[in-house]
A and B are shown apart, each in its own frame.
Chain A
Amino acid sequence: MRMQPIRIIFHDVAAIVVCAIFLLPVIWAIASAFKPSEELFEFPPSLFPHHPTLQSFQNIFSTGDVLRYALNSFLVAVGSSLITLLISSMAGFALAKYRFPGQKILFLLIVGMLLVPLQVLMIPVFLVLKTLGWVNSLLGIIIPPAATPTGTFMLRQFILGIPDELIEAARLDGASDWKIYWHVILPLSAPVLAALGILSFTWRWNDYIWPLIAINSQDRYTLQLALANLIGTNTVEWGTLLAYATSVLLPVLVVFVIFQRYFLKGNIAGGVKG
C-alpha cells in the first residue's frame, strides 16, 4: 500500500499492453485468416479485417484431404497420450514402490534420456522405424514418443507420496501386484495423470519432427506435416495458410487456457519439453 495505486495500475496496464504487442505475430496471423484476400495485401496494413470472412477456412479443404489429416493428428495425439499414461504410471509405480537390483541405474537411465535429443539421433531412429516396418505407419509416430522421461518422473514423484499402508492393506486382501497397480495406484494418481495427459496431448498434437522422419505418404499426414509441406511450396495463398495455422493452433490454445495451471506447474517439474 506504500506504492501509489496509480503507479500500480499503470504497471498493470503496461503489462497487458506489452504482452499484447509480444503476441502480435500470433494475433496478426489469426486476424488475417479472417480477411478477404484483397485485404491481406492492402497498404497500409490493418490488424483487424474490415469485412471478416471464412473464405480462407473453406479454401483449406482444397489443399488436400484435410479431414483425414485431422483424424490422423487426433489419433496420434490421443493414442500416444493414452500409452504415455499407461506406461509412465507403470514405470513410476515400479520406481516408487519397489526395491530391486538396478533400480537407481534404471531411474538415472530413464531421466538421462531427457538429455539425448531426437534431433541428433533421427537418422538411426529412422533406420529402426524402417526395420520395424513403421515407416509410413501411424504406429511410427504414436509409439516412439509415448515413453517420455518427464512423464515417468512426474508419476514416480507422485506415487512416492501414496502411503505404503494402502498397498499393504490391498495385499492383505489378497490383491495381486497388477490389481494393486490398477485398482489402488491408478485411481489415486488421477490428478497427475490428468496433468500429464493434457501436456502429452499438446506435445503430440504439435509434433513435427516425428512425422517428418516417419511419414511420406499423403494419407498418413498429420495436420502439422501437411501445413509444413504447404509453407514450402509457395503455391497456396497466404490467407489459406494462415487459416490453416489458426485451425491447427486453436485446439492447443483452448486446452492451454483452460488447463493453464498444469502447464505452468509442468514447466517447473519437467524442465524440458517431453
Chain B
Amino acid sequence: MSEHSLIVDEMPRPDVLRGTLKFLTPYFFLLPTLIIFGLFSLFPLVCGGFMSLYRIDMVNGKWLFIALDNYSRLLRDPVFGQSVLNTFWYAIAVVPGTLIASLAVALFLRESRPARLVARLGFYIPFVLSPVVVATSWKWLLNEDFGVVDDLLRVLGLSSIPWLTSQFPARFSVVVTTVWNLVGFYMLMFLAGLSQIRGELYEAAKIEGASVLQRFYYVTLPMLRPTILLVVVLTTVHSVQAFESILLLTDGGPANSTRLIVQNMYDAAFLHLNPGYGVAQAILLLPVILFIAWIQMRMLKSEGEG
C-alpha cells in the first residue's frame, strides 16, 4: 500500500503534462495553416500600413521615414487618378455585363437535358483556364494586323477596328474578355438559385395568365434576389482587384486607358522600384474591399439564418 501511495503521489505530473498536451492538440493541428496565413496574409496586411509611410530602397534595404508623403503624392498623381477612374468604369461595365450574361445563360440552360448539361460544361471552361491562356487566345483573336475578329469584319465589308491599340475599343475588349472569363462561374450560381424556385409558383402564374416575360419579372427575378446580390458583390470584388489578364492583354495601354489600380500598384513597386508608393495605393483600396467584404459577410449570414 505504502509503495503504491508513493507512486500515486507522483501521478499528477504526467497528468498535467498530458492535460497540457491535450489542450494544445487542436492548436497543433491548426498550426501549419495559421503560420502560412499569418506570414502571407495577416502580417502583410499590417506591414503594408507601415511600408506606406516609408520610401524603401529594395536594393540596399534602406527605409526612409517620410510620414504621409506617399499619400499626398498620390492625391496629386494624375496616372493614379486615372487608374481609379478606369477601375470605376471597368466595374460599372463588368458587374452588370456579367450579371446579365450569366443570368441569361442560366435561364437558357435551365432544364437538365443532356445537351444543356454539356453546354453548361462548355460555358464553364473559360473559368478553368489560366489568365495567361485567356490573354493569349484573346490577343490572337483581337490583334490588329491579322486578328480573326478584324478579318471577319472585313469579310462583311466593314473596316477593321484596332481592338487593343485604341482607347475605347481597348476598354471594351478588356471588359468583354473579363465577362467571357467569368460567365460560367456565375451561371452555376444562378442555376443553383433557379433550382430553389418551386415549380408551383410558375404554374400559378400561368393559370393567372401571366406571359413568359411577366413570369420572369414577377416570379423569377424576386426569387433570385439573394443570388443577384451575391453576384453583384462578388463581381465588384473581382473588378476592384482585376489585374493579371489585363496586364497581358493591353499592359494598361493605350495611353493608360486600361490601367487599373492594381496594375498601377504593381508598376510602382516592381517597375519603378518604389514599394512604399505602391503599398499606399493598396492601403487606399483596402477600405473599399473590406466594405464590400463586410456586405458579403452580412448577406451570407442573413442567408444562413433565413
When the two chains form their complex, are residues A271 and B129 in contact, meaning their CB atoms are under 8 A apart? no
Residues of chain A in range 215-243 having any CB-CB distance to chain B below 8 Å: 224, 227-228, 231-232, 238, 241-242
Distance A51 CA – B236 CA, assembled complex (angstroms): 45
CA distance A218 to B32 in the complex (A): 30
Question: With A119-B262, A232-B251, A257-B121 in contact, do A252 and B37 touch (Cβ < 8 Å)?
Answer: no
Least Cβ distance of B235 to chain A in Å?
Answer: 11
Q: A19-B123, A113-B37, A123-B278 are in contact. Are A29 and B29 (CB under 8 A)?
A: no
For the complex, what is the distance from the CA of A216 to the CA of B113, rounded to whole Å? 49
The range of chain A's interface size is 35 or more
| B residues less than 8 Å from A23 (CB atoms) | 122, 125-126
Of the listed stretches B42-50, B88-96, B210-218, chain A binds B42-50
Is the Cβ of B243 less than 8 Å from the Cβ of A248? no
Bound state CA distance, A87 and B38, in angstroms? 14
Chain A's closest residue to B285 (CB) is A120
Assuming the contacts A32-B140, A116-B41, A117-B237, asked whether A123 and B29 have C-beta atoms less than 8 A apart, the reply is no
Q: Cβ of B293 and Cβ of A242 under 8 Å apart?
A: no
Q: What residue of chain A has the Cβ atom nearest to residue B130's Cβ?
A: A206
Residues of A within 8 A of B229 (CB): none
- Give the dominant DSSP class at A's interface: helix
Say yes or no: B282 contacts A120, CB within 8 Å: yes
B39 touches A16 (CB 8 A): no
Q: Is there contact, CB below 8 Å, between B126 and A208?
A: no
| B66 CB within 8 Å of chain A | no
B60 at the interface (CB under 8 A from A): no
B22-63, CB < 8 A from A: 23, 25-30, 32-34, 36-37, 39-41, 43-45, 47-48, 51, 58
Residues of B within 8 A of A224 (CB): 130, 132
Assuming the A-B contacts A147-B36, A245-B137, are A120 and B262 also in contact, with contact meaning beta carbons closer than 8 angstroms in the complex? yes
CB distance from B125 to the nearest CB of A (A): 6
- Shortest distance between the CB of B296 and any CB in chain A (Å): 7
Instruction: Beyond A95-B30, A121-B41, A147-B40, list 11 extra A-B contacts (CB 8 Å).
Output: A45-B152, A110-B34, A120-B265, A123-B48, A123-B265, A128-B44, A209-B243, A248-B130, A249-B130, A256-B125, A257-B121
- Chain B: residues with CB nearer than 8 A to chain A? 23, 25-30, 32-34, 36-37, 39-41, 43-45, 47-48, 51, 58, 108-109, 113-116, 118-126, 128-133, 135-141, 143, 146, 148, 151-152, 154-155, 180, 183, 185, 188-189, 192, 234, 237, 241, 243-244, 248, 251, 262, 265-266, 269-270, 275, 278-279, 282, 285-286, 289-290, 293, 296-297
Nearest 7 CB-CB pairings of A with B: A206-B130, A124-B44, A12-B115, A147-B36, A94-B29, A98-B26, A29-B137
Write the residues of chain A forming the contact surface with B, with a CB cutoff of 8 angstroms: 8, 11-13, 15-16, 18-20, 22-23, 25-26, 28-29, 32, 40-41, 43-45, 86-88, 90-91, 93-95, 98, 100, 103, 106, 109-110, 112-113, 115-117, 119-128, 130, 132, 143-144, 146-147, 152, 177, 181, 202, 205-209, 212-213, 224, 227-228, 231-232, 238, 241-242, 244-245, 248-249, 252-253, 256-257, 260, 263-264, 267-268, 271-272
Give me 14 A-to-B residue pairs in the complex whose CB atoms sit less than 8 angstroms apart, sorted by A's number: A13-B115, A15-B119, A16-B115, A28-B137, A44-B154, A90-B32, A91-B34, A120-B289, A121-B44, A126-B269, A126-B270, A128-B43, A146-B36, A242-B137
